[in-house]
């Protein structure tokens, strides 16, 4: 008997359940509620994305969720009939088992609309078919599945920060800036783990902004579906995909249940200080470079682990700064002038400004060691080194040309975690020169990431791309489907 075959006795048969679907063509009737649908796109490096079709998320009367696909050549025929939440029947389809990455459903087979398919809308609602079903995972689960490109699960937690703003500041998120609107970064506290960075991209970011701003009271709880666990600068983060949806507070049962849990556990909302959450992410040099290319000019802070390779000679390693604001002073006729404070008789202090060549596992660039970072690297203030040089060589330190201190030469070969400050200048400069304002700690370069092996045995690869969080990495939906 053929697979997925309808009842041949002439009697009306019950719809085939998703768990009974077998690979290959089928002429049975499937009945399901359409939970969600989205565009499947393939990312082309250096060019525009290629639209491949429509992907669907469906649930049957047994509560099993399956993924569906409508190829580009049939998109116009079916897309206008699709409506989230409606019940449909589908007869004649092709069940493909070639999807190897980024599963969004329990059923591993992808149910594809074929040339012979009949998709019909059921006008009456069927209460027996659930309106939603989520696959919520814990922090430990995401940690275990990080960077595996496997199943995409859902996350629920309570908000700590939204784009760097504590909730008590009631931030307004809608923006007309196209570049800024591509991403929202939230700091999310989970029940079972630390605060985690969640990056919402494109449609997920826009939906979150609209819902957040429309709430009468500032939302507390969020559920994001089908997130991709990735490690960014050694830290676990979650990134939305094009299949992701966002739910707040009272929208769905899991967020309602989480709100109830927060009411019973009020200490959970204060277990993490929002001020402590705003810590610089650790990025590689290439990730910082990608951030500069992708983001609008802004002030931002990152940590970067790098090894000092060399120190630039032949330039001054310090500058004369305003004691109050650390701005470089201008020399007036008889006094030093601070352009920032407006003080015409500013008190001067020597501040570090040392250019160093550094590298990590991927890239090389110049770090400008500024202010306190120099003191943390050498253990001494710039003024002390100048005074020592003056004592050893005779004369006034202000009049001498002080050569580069040996302590900077001794730092060559050391690996440190640097605090990097991005300024609008970095986004316009053609040279990758980054300002280090702090030495966070001694460090070691993380192990190099092994190359990812592309699974074999796929005929058609459908990549549905949603650019990921900081640093030029990308969150890519990849599946192989037979149209």
CB hemisphere CA count around 363 (13 angstroms): 16
Residues facing 230 on adjacent strands: 237
Residue 483 near residue 71, CB atoms below 8 Å: yes
Residue 154 near residue 135, CB atoms below 8 Å: yes
Residue 73 C-alpha from the chain's centroid: 32
- How do 462-467 and 474-479 pair as beta strands? antiparallel
Query: Mean per-residue pLDDT for 428-457?
Result: 74
**Lookup: tokens for 45:** 């490096």
**Lookup: tokens for 219:** 């939302």
Of residues 227 and 467, which shows the higher confidence score? 227
At residue 253's C-alpha, the angle toward residues 249 and 255, to 5°, is 30
- How do 348-359 and 318-322 pair as beta strands? antiparallel
pTM score of the predicted model: 0.60
Query: Mean per-residue pLDDT for 5-11?
Result: 46
Interacting residues of 329 by C-beta distance below 8 A, sequence separation 6+: 320, 321, 322, 336, 337, 338, 339, 346, 348
Q: Share the mean pLDDT of the chain.
A: 82
User: What percentage of residues in the chain have a pLDDT greater than 90?
Assistant: 45
**Between the ranges 17-26, 145-154, 342-351, where is the mean pLDDT highest?**
17-26
* Euclidean distance between CA atoms 195 and 139, whole angstroms: 10
Q: What pLDDT digit, counting tens, does each position of 250-292 carry?
A: 999 999 999 999 999 887 776 555 545 555 678 999 999 988 8
* Euclidean distance between CA atoms 150 and 475, whole angstroms: 12
Q: What pLDDT digit, counting tens, does each position of 229-253 carry?
A: 998 766 789 999 999 999 999 999 9
Count CB neighbours of 72 within 10 A.
14
* Euclidean distance between CA atoms 76 and 82, whole angstroms: 11
Measure Cα distances from 170 to 164, 199, 259, 337, 401 in Å: 12, 19, 19, 40, 53
Lowest mean per-residue pLDDT among 77-91, 148-162, 224-238, 316-330: 316-330
- Sign of the torsion angle spanned by Cα atoms 329, 334, 335, 340: negative
Q: What pLDDT digit, counting tens, does each position of 85-113 carry?
A: 999 999 999 999 877 788 899 888 999 99
Count CB neighbours of 231 within 10 A.
14
* Euclidean distance between CA atoms 289 and 283, whole angstroms: 10
**Lookup: tokens for 39:** 């565009």
Residue 107 near residue 35, CB atoms below 8 Å: no
**Between the ranges 69-73, 100-104, 339-343, 443-447, where is the mean pLDDT highest?**
69-73
**What pLDDT shows up at residue 258?**
96
Q: What pLDDT digit, counting tens, does each position of 356-369 carry?
A: 999 999 899 999 99
Is residue 115 classed exposed, middle or buried when 0-12, 13-18 and 19+ CB atoms within 10 A define those classes? exposed
398 — pLDDT class (breaks 50, 70, 90) = low
Which domains occur in the chain, in start order?
18-122 (2.40.50.140), 139-172+180-267 (2.40.50.140), 282-442 (2.40.50.140)
Residue 140 near residue 193, CB atoms below 8 Å: yes
* Euclidean distance between CA atoms 114 and 118, whole angstroms: 9
* Euclidean distance between CA atoms 375 and 318, whole angstroms: 12
**Lookup: tokens for 401:** 């040309």
Residue 190 near residue 182, CB atoms below 8 Å: no
* Euclidean distance between CA atoms 291 and 286, whole angstroms: 9
At residue 238's C-alpha, the angle toward residues 236 and 244, to 5°, is 165
450 — pLDDT class (breaks 50, 70, 90) = low
> In this model, does residue 10 exceed pLDDT 50?
no
């Amino acid at each position: 008997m053929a697979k997925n075959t309808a009842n041949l006795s002439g009697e009306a048969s019950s719809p085939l359940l998703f768990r009974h679907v077998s690979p290959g063509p089928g002429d049975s009737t499937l009945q399901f509620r359409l939970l969600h649908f989205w565009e499947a796109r393939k990312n082309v490096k250096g060019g525009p994305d290629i639209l491949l079709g429509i992907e669907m998320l469906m649930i049957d009367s047994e509560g099993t969720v399956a993924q569906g696909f409508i190829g580009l050549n049939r998109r116009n025929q079916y897309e206008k009939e699709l409506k989230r939440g409606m019940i449909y029947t589908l007869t004649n389809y092709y069940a493909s088992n070639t999807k190897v990455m980024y599963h969004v459903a329990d059923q591993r087979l992808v149910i594809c609309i074929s040339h012979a398919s009949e998709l019909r809308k059921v006008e009456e609602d069927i209460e027996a078919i659930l309106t939603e079903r989520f696959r919520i995972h814990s922090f430990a689960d995401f940690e275990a599945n990080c960077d595996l490109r496997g199943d995409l699960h859902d996350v629920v937690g309570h908000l700590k920060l939204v784009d760097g703003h504590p909730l008590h500041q009631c931030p307004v998120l809608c923006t007309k800036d196209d570049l800024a609107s591509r991403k929202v970064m939230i700091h999310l506290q989970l029940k079972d783990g630390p605060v985690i960075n969640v990056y919402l991209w494109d449609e997920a970011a826009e939906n979150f902004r609209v819902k957040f701003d429309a709430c009468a009271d500032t939302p507390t709880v969020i559920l994001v579906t089908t997130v991709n666990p990735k490690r960014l600068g050694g830290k676990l983060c979650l990134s939305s995909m094009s299949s992701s949806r966002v739910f707040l507070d009272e929208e769905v049962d899991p967020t309602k249940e989480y709100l109830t849990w927060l009411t019973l556990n009020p200490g959970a909302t204060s277990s993490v200080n929002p001020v402590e959450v705003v810590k610089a992410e650790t990025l590689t040099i290439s990730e910082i470079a990608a951030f500069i290319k992708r983001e609008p000019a802004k002030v931002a802070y990152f940590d970067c682990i790098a090894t000092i390779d060399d120190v630039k000679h032949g330039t001054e390693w310090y500058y004369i700064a305003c004691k109050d604001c650390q701005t470089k002073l201008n020399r007036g006729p008889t006094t030093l002038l601070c352009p920032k404070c407006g003080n015409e008789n500013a008190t001067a202090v020597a501040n570090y400004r040392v250019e160093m060549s550094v590298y990590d596992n991927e890239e090389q660039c110049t770090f400008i060691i500024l202010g306190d970072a120099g003191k943390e690297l050498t253990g001494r203030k710039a003024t002390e080194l100048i005074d020592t040089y003056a004592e050893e060589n005779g004369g006034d330190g202000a009049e001498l040309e002080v050569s580069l201190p040996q302590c900077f030469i001794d730092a060559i070969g050391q690996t440190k975690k640097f605090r990097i400050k991005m300024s609008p200048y970095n986004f316009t400069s053609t040279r990758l020169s980054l300002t280090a304002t702090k030495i966070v700690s001694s460090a070691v370069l993380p192990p190099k990431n092994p190359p990812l092996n592309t699974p074999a045995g796929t005929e058609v690869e459908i990549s549905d791309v949603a650019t990921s969080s900081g640093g030029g990495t990308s969150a890519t939906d990849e599946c192989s489907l037979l149209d």
